[in-house]
Each structure stands twice: as C-alpha cells, then as structure tokens.
Amino acid sequence: MGGNDEMGNVEEESLPPPHLDLYEPLLEKEKVATAGNANGNVINGTHHTAMIGTRVAPIESLDYELVENELFRQDWRSRKKREILQYVAVKWTFVFLVGILTAIAALGINTAVENIAGVKFLLTVKFMESNRFVWAFLVYAGFNVMLVMSAALLCVYIGPSAAGSGIPEVKAYLNGVDTPNIFSIKTLVVKILGSIGSVAGGLIVGKEGPLVHVGSCIASLLGQGGSVKYGLTCKWLRYLKNDRDRRDLVTCGAAAGVAAAFRAPVGGVLFALEEVTSWWRGPLLWRAFFTTAVVAVVIRTGIAWCKQGHCGMAGEGGLIIFDVSGVQESYGLRELSSVAVSGVLGGVLGSLFNQINAKIIVWSGTWLKKKGKFAKIIQAILIALVTSICSFGLPFLAKCQPCPDHLTIPGEKACPTYGRAGNFKNFHCPDGSYNDLAGLFFNTNEDSVRNLFSKGTNGEFQFSSLFVYLTSAYSLALLTYGTAVPSGLFVPAILCGATYGRIVGMIMGSFYVNGHMDEGVYALLGAASFLGGSMRMTVSLCIILLELTNNLLLLPLIMLVLLISKTVGDAFNDGLYSLHVHIKGIPFLEAHPPQFMSHLTARDAITRPLIWFSKVERVGTIAEVLRSTNHHAFPVVDDDVECSGKPVFFGLVLRSHLLVLLKKKEFAKNRLSRSEVQSSRVTAAEFAKPGSGKGLTISDIELTVVEEEMFLDLTGIANTSPYTVVHTMSLAKAYTLFRQLGLRHLCVMPRASEGQPIIGLLTRHDFMSAYLLNLYPHLRQNNYTKIQAFTSKRDEQL
Amino acid sequence: MGGNDEMGNVEEESLPPPHLDLYEPLLEKEKVATAGNANGNVINGTHHTAMIGTRVAPIESLDYELVENELFRQDWRSRKKREILQYVAVKWTFVFLVGILTAIAALGINTAVENIAGVKFLLTVKFMESNRFVWAFLVYAGFNVMLVMSAALLCVYIGPSAAGSGIPEVKAYLNGVDTPNIFSIKTLVVKILGSIGSVAGGLIVGKEGPLVHVGSCIASLLGQGGSVKYGLTCKWLRYLKNDRDRRDLVTCGAAAGVAAAFRAPVGGVLFALEEVTSWWRGPLLWRAFFTTAVVAVVIRTGIAWCKQGHCGMAGEGGLIIFDVSGVQESYGLRELSSVAVSGVLGGVLGSLFNQINAKIIVWSGTWLKKKGKFAKIIQAILIALVTSICSFGLPFLAKCQPCPDHLTIPGEKACPTYGRAGNFKNFHCPDGSYNDLAGLFFNTNEDSVRNLFSKGTNGEFQFSSLFVYLTSAYSLALLTYGTAVPSGLFVPAILCGATYGRIVGMIMGSFYVNGHMDEGVYALLGAASFLGGSMRMTVSLCIILLELTNNLLLLPLIMLVLLISKTVGDAFNDGLYSLHVHIKGIPFLEAHPPQFMSHLTARDAITRPLIWFSKVERVGTIAEVLRSTNHHAFPVVDDDVECSGKPVFFGLVLRSHLLVLLKKKEFAKNRLSRSEVQSSRVTAAEFAKPGSGKGLTISDIELTVVEEEMFLDLTGIANTSPYTVVHTMSLAKAYTLFRQLGLRHLCVMPRASEGQPIIGLLTRHDFMSAYLLNLYPHLRQNNYTKIQAFTSKRDEQL
C-alpha cells in the first residue's frame, strides 16, 4: 500500500500535500492491482468496504443520473400538474418535519445531559462538602464510567455506525457513497442515547457532530418514502423514492443539526454548504434556510418552556450561546499582531491534532480489530476513568484564589456564580476563595467554554491552571475521538483553543499595561484558530462563532484568525474530516481531479473484464452473471448482426432493474419474440429505488431449469442514453464529468466503432488515486522523464 | 414572439410561472424559426445580441471545457512544480488586489458623493434660511440636473455598458455569456463617475449594484493577463489567460463589491454565491472570503482616516451601517403576526415593483430605441427634475412638528441632530420644530435610511409623511431604474421597505399600548421584506441586514420575514435580476432544464446545417467557411476512407485556434504531407484566449491565391475528446451536462455509426426555451395528447 495521495487538496493546480503518505487507510484491502500491462485485465479489488462508525461495512455508490429508458420516459411524460404540486408539497412538508424533529432531538439530548450531569455534580459536591473525598471520587468516576460504558455498549452491540461524530459518514453519503446502516433507525436511537451518555459522562466530546448525524438520519428516514413493511406508506411519498431527493433532504438535515447544536441557523446552512455537501443547487439553499429557521423557532420555544422549570436542571445552559458582546470596539496593529499569533498557534496545534489523532485511530483501530468488541468497551471505560481522574484530581494541584473584590457580595461565603454553573467553583477551597482549575475541569464542557469566553474576567485564571488544562484537554480529546462512543469535535476544539487563547491574552496583557483586549475575546479568537487549524472551514465557522457570541464587530478579527490558521494548517496536512474520510477508506471524490490524472486516459483506468448482455438475453446467462459478479450495471449490446452489420452499443441496464424483471418472470420463449415488450406490464414505480434495507438480491429469486432457458428482452429497461466518453479522453476530464453529474457508471466508448461496441465502464473505484497510482507507480514519483516516456508510448498505441 | 417561459423558476419539478408571458424581451430577434419539420435545417436566428447596459451589444459564449488536443496535452505534461506554485501565487495576489482596489473605489465614490451632496445641501439651506425659496430650489435642482446629466452623457456616449446596476450583466457573464465591453476600462471609469453623479444628484438609486459591477470589472481587468499593447505583461500572468480563472476572479470581484457597499464581508460572499454565480467551487468560497476580508480591513482603515478630517465632508455616513442593536430582546406571537404582515406586504409590493418596472423598461426601451441617444439624456434630465421637485416641494406639505421634549437641549434653537445629517431637519419650520418629511426627502438616500432605521424614535414620523414618502419613493424608483445612468436597487428597496415597515409599526403600536417593538425594528423588517419580495434572495440578504444592523437577536425575525416575502413574491413573478436578464435578451442557462425539455431529444434541438472539416483541409475552404459563418467550433472528420472504411468523427476545432493557424501560415503543399505536423512550431501559449478586445478575426488574415490552394493539418489542434451525447438523449439530460460542465459546444453523435460521422453541435442558443417552444409550439400549450402524439411519432422515426 502507500502512495495515498488521493486526499490531496485537489484543486486543478495544487501540489499533493507533503505528509499524506503517513496515513494509510485503516482497512487492508484484499488485493490491490499491481502495476504492469495497463490494458490487461487487472481486477480492482479495492474499496468495497469502509469503516462506518467503528465497524467495517459494505459500501455502495449512489446514482444521480437520469435513467432514460422507454419505461421511465413514459412515466415522465404522464406526470401532470397536480402531481408536480404534490411533489413540491411533500418536499416542503418533509424539510419542515426535519427541522422540528431535529430541534426536538437536540432539546432532548440537552435536557438529559444537563439533568444527569447536574445530579452527578450535586452528589459529588455533597460528599466533598463533608470532606469524604474518596467517596466523592467514587461517585463521580462511577457515574462517568457507567454512562460511558452504556454508550459504548449501545454503540458496539446495537448501532456500530453511530460511533464517532458521523460527519465523515454524512459527507461520504452526500458525495455518493451509501452504506446500509448509516441512516437506520437503530443508528438514530443509539446516536441520541450514546451522545447523552458520552457527554454527560464527562468525556471531552461535544454533541455537535452527533447532532449533524442525527439531523441527517431523521431526514433520510423521512425520505425513505414510508415503509411497506409497517404499512406506513402513501401515494404521495413515491416521489421521494430516488437518490436525488434523499440527498437534498439529508443536506437539509445536516444543516438542521448544526443549527440546533449551536443555535446558529445561518451557520448551519453554511456548514452544510461548505463542509458537508458535494453538490449544491440554488433551491436547496432556500430549503435548507427554511429548515434551520424552523429549528431556530422550535429551539427558542423549547428553551423558553424549559426556563419555566419544566426541564429539571436544564435551564439556559447546554445549547451554547456565549455573549461576549460589548467588549471590544476598536483594535489596532498591536491587537492584530496578537491575533496573528493565535492564528499561527491554531494552525500548528490544529494540524498536529489531526496528525496525532489520525495516527492513534489507525493504530488503535488495527489493534482493536484483533481484540474484538469487548476491547472497544474496555477502551471506552479506561478513557472515562482517566478523564475522571484528571478532572477530579488535577484541580487539587491548583492554588486557591481569593474571590475578586469587586465581585464579592457582602455576607456571601462563596464567590459569586452566574447561574448554577458560574465562573467560580469552590471545590475544596476555603470560603471566600475559588479553584480556577475546577472551574474548567469540574464542569460540563459547555460551562467550561462559557467560563473561558466570559468577559471582564481578566486574571481569573492562573497561567499554570490554563496550561495544565490545555495539555490534559488536548491529550484527552486526542484519545477520546475515535472511541466507540458518539463524539463530536467542536467542543473539544473550542475548549483547547479558548484555553491557549487566554494564555496568549495573558502574555500580551503582561506586555502592554493598558488597552489590550479582553481575555474573553482572546479566548474566542483562540477557539476560532483551533477550529480553523483543525477543521479548515472558514465562512461557516466564522458565522457559527458570530452567532454564538453575538458580536459582529469582532468579524474582521475572526476572519483574519481563521485565514491564518487555515493557511498554516493546510501547509501540514488535510482537514480533520477529510483525513477521517480517508482513514475510513471511503472512496470519496474530491471536487477536482488530482493532477496526475491528466497524464492518463479513460482507457488506462479500465481494468476489469467487461461483461455485456444482448438485447434479448437468455435468463440463465443473466442469473449466472448476477450471481457471480457484484457489478451494478451492464452494457447491453445490439448484436443482431443481420440487421446492423456488427454489434453496436445499445444501452446500460442496472442490476436492480434486472432483478425486478427476473422477479416478475416475464420471459419470452425464444430470442425472436421481441415484439411482445413485457415492460408494458411492469410500471415504473416498481423500479423505484428502495430505501434502506437490502432490496432485492439475486438469491431471493428462484428460477427453474425451464425458465433459465427462456429469454428476457432488455430493450425496455436499458438506459439508451447514458453519458459516454471516448476512451482517449484524459482521465481528469472524465473525472470532471463523473463528479459534476454525480454518476455511478460512465461508459467508455471506442473511437471509431470498430471491434468492440464498448470498451468498458468506469466507476467511482476506478477514479481512486491509490488504485491508479499502484497501477502506474511512475506517476507517483512525479518523475517527468518517466511520465513522458509512458505517455508517448501509450499515445503511439492509440 | 411570446411564449417566453424560459425564465421559469426551473427546478426539475416546477411549473412554469404563470405571468411570464407578460414580458417579452426588449430586442426583436430577426427571425425565429417557425414550427414544422423538426429535422429540417431551420436556422436559429435568435439571441446573438442582447441589451448590455442600455446598448444592444453582440454577445458570445464562454467555454470552460478543457480542450484536449496534442498541443495542450504537451503543455500540461510539461508543467512543473515551480510553475504550479507561480500560478497559485498569482491567483492569490490578484484576489488581494481585487479586494484593495474595490475598497478604494468604494471609498472614493463615497467621499465624492458625500462632499458633492454636502455642498449642494449647504448652499440650498443657505438660501432657504434667507427665505429665498425659489433660488434655493434653482440651486438644488440645478445641481441635481447637472450631476445626473453628466452621468447620463458619460453613459450614453462613452460607456453604454455602464448604465443600470450591472448585476444582471455580471450574472450573465458568470453564466457564460460574454460581451466585449462589459468589463472594459471605459465601463469601469464611467460606472464610477456615473454612480457619483446619479447618487449625488439625488436620484432614488443606490451605489450598491454599481459597486458589484465595479468590483467585477476590476477583477476582470486584472485577469486579462496584462496588456501586450501597453507592454504590461509578465510571464507569470499567462496562467490566467483562460476563462475559468477569469470567472473565479470575477466572482471574487462581485463579492468584494457587495462587501464594500454594505461593509458586509460575509454577506458579500453569500451574495456572490446565492445570486450571482452559476458555478461554484469549494476553494472559491475560501478565496472570496479572503477578498472580502481584505475589503473590510481597507474600508475600516479608510474610514478611520476620513474621521480624522482628510475627506472633506465625508465622515461616518455613506457606507451604511445602521446600528439597531440593543433594541428588541424578546418577541411573542403578537410581534410574529405583525412580522407576517410585513412579509406579505413586501411580497406583494416587491413583485408588483418587478412587474411594473419590467413593463416600464420594455416600453421606454422600445420608445427610446426609435428616438436615439439624445432622448435617453432628456429622459435622465426629466427624472432628475421630477425627483428634485418632489424632494424639495413635498416637504412643504408636511406639518411642522415640535421637537420631542426629551431630546431638546436647553438653549439650542434647532432640534438636535446626531452628527451633521441627523434625524431632525428644520427645513422651513420655525425654531424648536422640525419637518419630518424633509428628514426623509431632503437628505442623501443613506441618511434617510438611517433616519428610518433609528431606534427610540417612535412617533417621530407622521403617518401622512410616511405615506407621501412611500408613494413617491416607490414611483420614482420605478421610473429611475432603467434610465441611462448607473443605478442600484438596494437602497431604493430599503427606503420603500423601511417606510412601510414604519407604517406597519405605527398601526401595530396604535393597537397595543405597551410592549410592541421599536419602530426602527419594524423599519428593518420592512426593508427585509421588500428586498425579499423583489430580489428573492434569502441567506445573503439575511446576512447583509445582520451585518448592517449588528443585532443577531433579530435573526429569526428577519429569516421569517424573508421566507414569507419570497414565497409571496414567487407566486406572482420572477426575481428582479432574473427578469432583467430575460428582458435584456441574455441567453441565460438556469440551473435546471424546464420540464418540457424532457419531451425533446438532443436531435430535436439541432437545426442548423452542420459544416465540418477534413483532418487535412484546403486553406481556401477553411477561410471561406470562417468568412461566411460565425460559428465558433467545427467538427473535424477523418474521411480518409482508405484507412478507416468510412468517415469517422475525429474531434472539434475552435474558430479561434483556426485563426491562429491561418495567421501563422504553416501550410502544407498537398493533402498527403501530414507527417510534418506544423503544430510543433506553434506553442500552446499562442492559442491562449485573448482578454477583452476583439481578438483575431478572419478579416485580419490575408491569403494569396497560392496559399488558398495549400492544405492545413488540423490533427494537432483538434480537441479529440470533446463531450458528446447520443442523439436520442433527452434534451433535459443533455442540458444538465451542458450546464453543469459549462460547455459551449456539445457534440451530438449518431447511435450506430452509420451514415454521418456526427449529427450536429448544440450550443447555448439551442437550449433557449423561446426558440424551442417556437419550433415545437404544442409543448407550450402543455397539451398532453398532442405531446403524446408528437413523441410517439418521433420515437417511431428513431
């Protein structure tokens, strides 16, 4: 293996990023074609599975091409005005539902986390107040371990696809890679319960990533077009039975997830646009915007309801809004330079985070695969234990600080808190003083963030406390992400970033006596820089942070810090989600082909032997081919030589359509009875793509010996106008077509139609860099002379 | 003509909008093909000109396809790492420059407008204070007429492409429609000077639209790759000599324009994304974001410098930031219902605005075309005069109001003003009172907006004044947009919207005694609703308004009002810019094909006779074809029958490349000497697309009789792997390919290669609905039986 340049930041012009060879995908592919005779029939044995969550799962491509066969043409033509209106109505109703349900899920997770964590902290504090520290620790650690263990059990045994943040998987789905379980009901339930467990269990994880997955899950489940099994079906829903509409719904779901997580409706739309989707259409912006607006209204209403005391201990907190408004109105060159420092730090620490995290995941993944499911649970428990020890033990190292004078309320013993989970934690300190490290560690993550972002608190934290917190939060976040529990990365990134932001602020403050910015602003900029350095988003992060902090005057500073940290980070490696997509072995198609593809032609990528059918094919042959291969499309060739002189390409037939026809058993007695087009007895709706679940497989179909000798006419169901390219087209150009139109199969045709009617089919896997670079290793070395020799030799052959 | 359904909101599923037949394009097309024999050679005589600014100009398509011929392949392959780095460096430097220059242009326009308008108002007020009202009016009107006249003179005689807002033209360019003058230096200069004239001249226009054009213009001029004529060239610049990179630069320029106009960097990026571009790539988001960040920093610095008194009368004002923060923290169902009222009003008034404005433009356009250039100037002068009369005369109708008690400063005669151009205009009123209508009329537009948006001013405006202002501003805006001066529509829309927003607020206020929202907030929501109802943007408007008002808590309200007004507006007609694109006769390709195209095949759209060349063609034939047609691409056919049996399609050759070869005169003596590939003596750089200007034309090339009898080998320059479709592919599917990949020519191939080697070429014009519906009128009537009959008859023929 090796040579995994495929994750390159593949603009047309870009160089392959230098360090990617470090990361090898987690899965060992069975057999990768070795170099050699490019036109020989080498099998592309790679990429039919990928890591989804923590489990190796089979993957399939989605197909957004319009199938144009006789049957479907008839269907389109008969579509009436009323039906189009129904379709539009269904679409809008569904995004409305996605918004409402995602918001409710977010509120539910939030309420549960706040209540469970609240009980945990109350009990622990009770024991501490009576100086029973061992008991306190046991209660605290016990709670954490139990919660995390339940999450891990759910993830490992019930919904393995629910582990991790889910954003790489959603990204892969929207790029056209489908896995059966990624959006199932099981996954949804496990994701919701699991994130409650892992967040309430005190791990350094967030619930933002998981909420994106939850939103997409809800959207995808709605988009299944009902369930025949449970009788949940309706004539109107049939319009949604195709991959395009599901893709749109899932995009809206992802936007809703971010919108619900951060209460940032515009940020949600932009996140979906910038990070998650691969295809974007104008009307989708508008629909996604509507979804997030619904989310915003529902969340707002829900929080207002909770404030009236209906939600137990869940009040304002949890759905993070930090208000640092009214802090910084002007800034000069001095502030800009310290912003630049934060940006560079963020770029370095963020890309280092990606690098180490990827290493850990690959390493632990290989190890855990050997040890089995039980080891995954042990791993989660150990991490919960270590986190508990850190968050309970380390605050004892911090020196107690006297409460700041101007904030002390006369007659009160403890330092003031804003709300229940305020800035100052007493912990083990005497009255009138506080433990600043406990304010960070001994809190829910979101309250820690709020403490770090709080304004007017210069000097509240000691340098040493921040440093201890930074190193342990950074290390714990590295260890935790990749465990078999639902875990988001936004909150850990914000925690680390805000901490070193405050450190930068304190250092700057010691240089300039007056007029430097509030440390809360530095914390915000630090968070921005870490997010930018690790996730490499720009516009959406900017908006999310703005919506979180409600201070537009900071916009130029946030923009600057994001620009710097992204640039610095890009110099080292790829964004976190892209790295994870790569590590998981997902065949992801970037927006632009890597440069080496311009040296190859479409023919060079075709390696597998082509199997084609005649227009009227023997049933036994079809069944045999379907049994022995797992290809999803087959060319149909008109080999009626009497009529056309020599075999010509007729169209492309999909495996799923063949299966429907075989199931129907509308066979003809002999090859010539093609006039009785059996498709007239089959309706287009029967060919609609099924939702989740396996759909029809060849093993479901029983054929008698007599039937096997009969014939099937493929004229009606063959897509007679698939997209084609000539075999001399450069692979880069073919890639553009494939990627832009969201194809699953691309027919490669011969130049002058001599000999073969069709040369081959290109699929997603044939465009994977790892595969191609293995086939043509000289392209990897970027060796100009060798490339030259290869291309001129190839050109001569053509 | 008629049947212009092409502007439909063409999602795959959408119905044609009901009212579009009302709008006929401004230009009468020479000959539109009439219905009849679909396969006959009917000429598509439409669409080779369009209205650009106020002038009819020839248009061309842009081509984003990678040309793959021998020559360019060599060029790619030899591109080294160093060159790629140079390319990246050039790109980033250029977007940086675009940001800086656009910001400077915006600051320049702003300073000029503020100073000129300042002098105008000071002089007028001086005359009024001495009760010489006639003189005051003469000075006021004289200033306005002179300013508007100069703008009109510039527009009509020097840069006709600079008239109007320019957004439709930029939108068309980014969709792939080029016009020679739209981004020339002349246009840039006229646009800048003209907007100073029209805005300072008191017209109800904004400088926001023009700034988008200015930004794009600057970007495009930078992207020309230097000028050989003026010796401004550099080896590095050659990388930008292609349409793709220019498109990206122009997109960044448009974003910079909005960012500079509103000081809304994120809004600028989103505006470019939502409204202006047709293709969007991930890395572009990032680059556009960088551009607008640069704009924000430069504008900020510039304003700080101006505040120190370097810019004459230009201070804070002008580059609008309205601060309505801290106004409204909570709102309930009652407020939401009044928001809904604003939304519906905005939708109705906005779409009515589009409807009437389109009518006026078509009507006056036809009339002005007859009368000539002079009439255009008279029209502009008349509008300036009417506007002056309204803004000077109507305030006399308003009752003077006593200054509000809580604001009066003891000892001061006049009501307080915030800064120079504050809320309260004394006008002709006695001391201690103010004229509310003058505060709206007798001000620069942006100060009026600021007055309307100001918070804590409930009751400042009388109902009658607002009503008078609304009707006159609405009518004047309708008349003004479409005149031969640079004119933006954002500010007029904000003015009208804010005015009726305040009216709604006052009415609501009279129902509920306490607890209703601030009228400033109502004004903001009104502005949002009118913008949404007229321009139909959502996310970008939302962000722009947020960045303008700096109050994120209003986000849900703004979202709601935009959603409602867009929905209401869409029920009536299309967005303003889309309407203008249509009226101007620009062959715009929407993101999705109209539904009727699924009834047609690719062959149905081909009407012009196909002209092809042999691989080695006689020079005289080529020259003759280039002289007699204006096609931009020709198929090359390998008709060496001895070798291949029958003619086969070889590739596509571009007119521009043929011209370069003809100019070079690398001819061969006879047809057989094809071994001496002359292209080796021509470098790829010579084929690079020239920037603005006409480029090479056939009339530049002189050929002797001997030369005409020689031969030219096209093997080297033919694009041997163009994108192709089979002729039976539905036109809708071919449209998707054409639009998604940004093609200029799409080859339509026969099914089995019998007879012709190629059936025809599809271009942008062949996808125009007006043309197709004329050819196949039964599709227009949506008559199911007729369509059925047509398609089955066609299918039989295939």
Number of A/B CB contacts below 8 angstroms equals 199
Residue in B9, B10, B13, B87 to test binding to A, most A beta-carbons within 10 Å: B13
Residues B432 and B521 in one domain: yes
Same domain, A360 and A508: yes
At a CB cut-off of 8 Å and minimum separation 6, what does B315 contact? B114, B306, B307, B419, B420
Counting beta carbons within 10 angstroms of the beta carbon of residue B31, is it exposed (0 to 12), middle (13 to 18) or buried (19 or more)?
A: exposed
Chain B residues touching A270 at Cβ < 8 A: 270, 539
Using alpha carbons, list the distances in angstroms from residue A21 to A33, A558, A568: 19, 32, 19
List the 749-778 stretch of A: residues with Cβ below 8 A of B: 751-754
Contact B310/A at CB under 8 A: no
Distance (Å) from the C-alpha of residue B755 to the closest C-alpha of chain A? 12
Residue of chain A minimizing CA distance to B734:
A723
If you average pLDDT over residues A699-723, what whole number do you get?
85
Mutate: best of A281, A545, A552, partner B, most B CBs <10 A: A552
Which residue reads 């370095």 in tokens?
A348
Higher-pLDDT residue of B47, A760: A760
SS3 A434: strand
Query: Is the separation of the CB atoms in A256 and A269 below 8 Å?
Result: no
Assigned domain for B401 exists? yes
* pLDDT band with cut points at 50, 70 and 90 for residue A72: low
| ipTM for this prediction | 0.84
CB contact residues (below 8 A), chain A span 38-67, against chain B: 66
Tell me whether residues A66 and B538 touch, CB distance under 8 A. Answer: no
User: B269 in contact with A at a CB cutoff of 8 Å?
Assistant: yes
Predicted confidence (pLDDT) per residue in B95-130, tens digit: 999 999 999 999 999 999 989 998 998 899 889 888
Phi and psi based region of residue B668 (left: phi greater than 0; alpha: psi -120 to 50; beta: remaining):
beta
Residue of A nearest to B74 (CA): A788
Instruction: Say what the pLDDT of residue A57 is.
Output: 76
Give just the sign of the alpha carbon dihedral A531, A535, A536, A537: negative
* pLDDT score, position B28: 45
Residue B208 CB contacts under 8 Å (≥ 6 apart), including other chains = B257, B258, B261, B262, B488, B489, B490, B491
Tell me: do A508 and A598 sit in the same domain: no
* pLDDT value for B406: 61
Cβ contacts of B595 on chain A, cutoff 8 Å? 84
Residues within 8 A of A (CB atoms), B 512-531 only: none
B27 domain residue, yes or no: no
Give the phi and the psi of residue B398 in degrees, each rounded to 5.
Answer: -80, 145
Mean pLDDT of chain A: 80
Closest chain B residue to the Cα of A786, Cα to Cα:
B77
The alpha-carbon gap from B515 to the nearest alpha carbon of chain A, in Å, equals 18
Q: How many CB atoms lie within 10 A of CB B29?
A: 17
List A residues 608-647 in contact with B (Cβ-Cβ < 8 A).
Answer: 638, 644
Q: Which pLDDT score is estimated for A329?
A: 56
pLDDT at residue B557 tops 50: yes
Rounded to whole angstroms, how far apart are CA atoms B769 and A296?
Answer: 40
pLDDT tens readout for residues A716-771: 888 888 899 988 888 989 998 999 888 889 999 887 656 678 888 998 888 888 88
A408: left (phi over 0), alpha (psi -120 to 50) or beta: beta
Give contacts of B 179-238 with A, CB under 8 A. none
As to burial, measured by CB atoms within 10 angstroms (0-12 exposed, 13-18 middle, 19+ buried), residue B797 is exposed
Select the residue of A88, A559, A591 nearest B13 (Cβ to Cβ).
A88
Q: What is the percent of chain B where pLDDT is above 70?
A: 78
Query: B297 at the A interface (CB within 8 A)?
Result: yes
Is residue B7 in a domain?
A: no
Q: Would the pTM count as exceeding 0.80?
A: yes
* Chain B residues close to A715, C-beta within 8 Å: none
For residue A499, what is the domain's CATH number?
1.10.3080.10
User: B77–A730: do the CB atoms touch at under 8 Å?
Assistant: no
Nearest CB among A297, A754, A787 relative to B77 is that of A787
The pLDDT of residue A13 is 37
Picking from A583, A618, A637, the residue at the C-terminal end of a domain is: A583
B543 with A14: Cβ contact below 8 A: no
CA dist., res. A432 & res. A414, Å (int): 5
Neighbours of A761 (CB within 10 A): 23
Examine the fold and report which residue of B544, B563, B586 is the final residue of a domain before the chain moves on: B586
**Matching residue, tokens 């709604």:** B504
Q: Is residue A388 part of a domain?
A: no
Domain end marker among A583, A603, A638: A583
Q: Are residues B741 and B652 in the same domain?
A: yes
Q: Give the domain CATH number at A26.
A: 3.10.580.10
The answer to whether the CB atoms of A66 and B730 lie below 8 A apart is yes
| Backbone phi and psi for residue A719, each to the nearest 5 degrees, phi listed first | -75, 105
Residue A302 has φ and ψ, to the nearest 5°, of: -60, -40
Identify whether residues A600 and A712 lie together within a single domain: yes
Contact B559 A740 (CB under 8 A): no
- Residue A739, classified by CB atoms within 10 Å of its CB into exposed (0-12), middle (13-18) or buried (19+), is buried
Interface residue A598 vs chain B (CB under 8 A)? yes
Report the alpha-carbon distance of residue B489 to residue A11 in Å, rounded.
36
Q: Kindly provide the b/e burial profile for residues A469-494, where b requires at least 16 CB atoms within 10 angstroms of the residue's own CB.
A: bbebbbebbbbbbbbbbbbbbbbbbb
Q: Are residues B186 and B208 in the same domain?
A: yes
H helices within A325-372, ranges in order? 333-371
pLDDT of A125 strictly over 80: yes
Confidence of residue A189 (pLDDT cuts 50, 70, 90): very high
Contact by Cβ (8 Å): A314, A306 = yes
- In this structure, the answer to whether residues B663 and B540 fall within a common structural domain is no
DSSP state of A402: E
Instruction: Give the mutation candidate from B15, B552, B565 for the A interface (greatest A CB count, under 10 A).
Output: B552
B591 touches chain A (CB under 8 A): yes
d(CA B553, CA A550) in angstroms, rounded, equals 8
Contact list, B273 vs chain A (CB under 8 Å): 273
**pLDDT band with cut points at 50, 70 and 90 for residue B136:** very high
Whether the per-residue pLDDT at A39 is higher than 70: the answer is: no
Q: Is the CB of residue A560 less than 8 Å away from at least one CB of chain B?
A: yes
Considering chain B, what percentage of its residues have pLDDT values greater than 90? 26
How far is the CA of A535 from the CAs of A219, A272, A346, A388, in angstroms? 24, 14, 11, 27
Of the listed ranges A312-316, B36-40, B68-72, the least confidently predicted one is B36-40
Measuring CA to CA, how many Å separate B443 from each of B121, B126, B200, B324, B426?
8, 15, 10, 20, 12
Residues B381 and B445 in one domain: yes
Q: How confident is the model at residue A431 (pLDDT cuts 50, 70, 90)?
A: confident
* CB-based contact B729 A752, cutoff 8 Å: no
Q: Where are the beta strands (DSSP E) in A371-452?
A: 401-402, 433-434
pLDDT band at B378; cut points 50, 70, 90: very high
Residue A628: inside a domain? yes
Phi (first) and psi of residue A786, to 5 degrees: -65, -40
Report the C-alpha gap between A25 and A32 in whole angstroms. Answer: 13
Q: Which of A270, A325, A723 sits opposite B737 (nearest CB)?
A: A723
* Dist. CA B138–CA B743, nearest whole Å: 56
Across B384-405, b (16+ Cβ under 10 Å) vs e yields bebbbebbbebbeebeebebbe
pLDDT 10s digits, A497-536: 999 999 998 888 777 655 567 888 889 999 999 999 999 9
Based on the fold, state whether residues B769 and B680 are members of the same structural domain.
yes
Question: CA nearest A397: which of A435, A431, A430?
Answer: A435
Helix ranges (DSSP H) in B130-155? 133-153
Q: Of B266, B560, B784, which is closest to A543 when you measure between CB atoms?
A: B266
Residue B84 located in a structural domain: no
What is the length of chain A? 798
Partners of A279 on chain B (C-beta within 8 Å) are none
Q: Which of A271, A240, A245, A237 is nearest to A256 (CA)?
A: A271
B82 part of contact set with chain A, CB < 8 Å: no
Asked if B644 and B672 sit in the same domain, the reply is yes
Both B368 and B504 in one domain: the answer is yes
Rounded mean pLDDT of A309-322?
Answer: 63
Instruction: Tell me the Cα Rg of chain A.
Output: 29
Q: Which of B73, B283, B560 sits opposite A293 (nearest CB)?
A: B560
| CB-based contact B282 A591, cutoff 8 Å | yes
Q: Do B215 and B257 form a contact (C-beta atoms < 8 A)?
A: yes
Rounded to an integer, what distance in angstroms lies between the CA atom of residue A258 and that of residue A271?
Answer: 7
In a domain, B12, yes or no: no
What residue numbers bound the domain in which A780 lies? 1-79+587-798
Place B314 in a pLDDT band, splitting at 50, 70 and 90.
low
- Tell which B residues from 644 to 683 touch A, by Cβ distance under 8 Å: 644, 648
Decide if A752 and B269 are in contact by the 8 Å CB cutoff: no
Interface residue A458 vs chain B (CB under 8 A): no
B141-162 residues labelled b (16+ CB within 10 A) or e (exposed): bebbbebbbbbbbbbbeebbbb
In a domain, A182, yes or no: no
Asked if the Cβ–Cβ distance from B752 to A752 is below 8 Å, we say no
Sheet containing strand A633-638, edge to edge, reads A613-614, A633-638, A648-654
Q: B761 in helix, strand or coil?
A: strand
Summarised one tens digit per residue, pLDDT across range B684-723 is 666 666 655 556 778 888 888 888 888 888 888 888 888 9
Contact A442, A395 (CB under 8 A): yes
Q: Which run of H or E residues covers position B596?
A: none
Cα–Cα distance, A12 to B79 (Å, whole number) = 12
Q: Which residue of chain A has the CA closest to B81? A: A15
* Best residue in A69, A174, A289, A738 for a mutation probing chain B (most B CBs within 10 Å): A289
Pairwise CB contact (< 8 Å): B15 & A721: no
pLDDT computed for residue B493 by the predictor: 94
Q: What pLDDT was estimated at residue A128?
A: 87
User: In whole angstroms, what is the distance from residue B773 CA to residue B596 CA?
Assistant: 9
Contact A183, A214 (CB under 8 A): no
Mutation target vs A (from B69, B252, B538, B597; most A CBs, 10 A cutoff): B538
Collect all residues of chain B within an 8 Å Cβ-Cβ radius of residue A592: 281
- Judge if A501 and A539 occupy the same domain: yes
The total number of structural domains that make up chain A: 2
User: What is the CB neighbour count within 10 angstroms for residue B53?
Assistant: 28
pLDDT tens for residues B593-644? 887 888 888 888 887 778 889 888 888 899 888 888 888 889 998 876 665 5
3-state SS, one letter per residue, for A669-717: CCCCCCCCCHHHHCCHHHHCCCCCCCCCCHHHCCCCHHHHCCEEECCCC
Q: Chain B: residue nearest A596 by CA?
A: B77
Asked if the Cβ–Cβ distance from A283 to B723 is below 8 Å, we say no
Find the angle CA(B355)-CA(B361)-CA(B366) to the nearest 5 degrees: 135
Higher local confidence (pLDDT), B277 or B350: B350
Q: Tokens 């995009």, residue?
A: A251
Q: Are A745 and A632 in contact (CB under 8 A)?
A: yes
Contacts 24+ apart (CB under 8 A), A91-95: A91/A239, A91/A240, A91/A245, A91/A248, A91/A249, A91/A287, A91/B13, A92/A287, A92/A290, A94/A219, A94/A222, A94/A223, A94/A240, A94/A249, A95/A219, A95/A249, A95/A252, A95/A287, A95/A288, A95/A290, A95/A291, A95/A294
Q: Which chain A residues have a beta carbon less than 8 Å from that of B252?
A: none
* A27 or B360, greater pLDDT: B360
Confidence (pLDDT) at B353:
95
For residue A88, the model assigns a pLDDT of: 83
Inspect the interface and report whether the beta carbons of A68 and B730 lie closer than 8 Å: yes
pLDDT in tens, A264-289: 888 899 899 888 888 877 778 888 98
pLDDT at B38 over 60: no
Contacts of B96 in chain A (CB under 8 A): none
pLDDT for res B193:
96
